[in-house]
Structure 1
């Protein structure tokens, strides 16, 4: 994520985006876990990226919503 993209969101848009990210995170966490290490590592990286996005969105709004890993 080296390129920055600036986007202005309303509180409602931000909340919808965070809710969607949480859904994606939950879906990714619930996938079958009998996978090779490479796929498990990719899942870990994706979950980390999602967590960072949610934290950035919460930081921009001045809210501090805990994100479970």
Structure 2
């Protein structure tokens, strides 16, 4: 299992100190997409101003998904 960290960057900044385990990058990316959709739905003020940042620290990789 790989560990991915989900943070928010932009209008609202939140760091994820614990992360979540996923089998692969695709599963983590899909989870981040769901998270971004939920944020856009529940907190419309974050739309277009905040991104979900997915980090895989063992490879120093970062993925951004806009809210």
Q: What is the TM-score normalised by the length of structure 1?
A: 0.42
| TM-score, normalising length: structure 2 | 0.43
Say which structure, 1 or 2, has more relative contact order (CA 8 Å, 6+ apart): 2
Structure that is richer in strand per residue: 2
